[in-house]
Amino acid sequence: MEEFKKKLVSRGFVGEILDDPATKEFYSHDASLFEIKPQLVVCPKNADDVQKLVSLVAESKKKMPRLSVTARSAGTDMSGGAVNESVIVDFNKHFTRIESVSPKEAHAQPGVFYRDFEKETIKHKAIMPSYPASRDLCTIGGMVANNSGGEKSLEYGKTKDFVQELRVVFADGKEYTVKPLTKQQLVAKMSQGDYEGKVYKKLFELIEKHYDTIKAARPNVSKERRKAV
């Protein structure tokens, strides 16, 4: 991991790179019962940092097959989703900007606390009703990653129902915008022939191959979303 750190610095990573015992101990927990100590914690300052990190991880996988990255923000997840034995990527330190808010939509970085986000949306007489019970502690990024829901979700739906698009970094180290696609748009994506196209194609083929299994595995629960009146 020491060599990995040096390479990351040499590529111009400007955020923090931490591996001291106290930091690793802190990041070994989230709100779950799990405890997994990471080897490294990084705090990217911008999207360029994220791209450099992800591309280096992809290149280093042959020599370090167990190398992986796990995104973390507030660490309020109760299923162990914010802990990892390899590299933790903390978005709660620098990715904390609310880009824009209007009565109909908003744009925010993943490390923004929901409580701060809500203060801004309320100014426009709007709210994202999928907030979980940890609304005072969780972040927007965590809500999206977990498809969070709470007391208003039966009526209004979960977080996925309020996400129009996401800017993400794929394993090739490049940033892409992902959003719902029509069938025609999906076919166009899959025919691109580049890394992005291959991701869409492989995912589509995987779903097609296991469609019946996925359909059968869907939980049969009594909770239903009710139309707001």
How large is the C-alpha radius of gyration of the chain?
Answer: 19
Q: How far is it, in rounded angstroms, from Cα 130 to Cα 117?
A: 13
Number of helical H runs and strand E runs in the chain:
9, 8
Identify the DSSP state of 163.
-
Which residues pair with residue 124 across a beta bridge?
none
Cα angle 163, 198, 146; round to 5: 30
Task: Give the tens place of pLDDT for each residue, 168-214.
Answer: 999 999 999 999 999 999 999 999 999 999 999 999 999 999 999 99
- What's the pLDDT tens digit per position in 27-50? 999 999 999 999 999 999 999 999
pLDDT in tens, 65-98: 999 999 999 999 888 999 999 999 999 999 999 9
What are the residue ranges spanned by the domains of the chain? 2-90, 98-162, 181-216
Q: Could you tell me if 114 and 139 are in contact, meaning their C-beta atoms sit under 8 angstroms apart?
A: yes
Q: Domain 2-90, what fold? A: 3.30.43
Per the prediction, the chain carries an average pLDDT of 94
- Which of 84, 54, 7 has the alpha carbon at shortest distance from 171? 54
| Pairing outcome for strands 87-90 and 69-72 | parallel
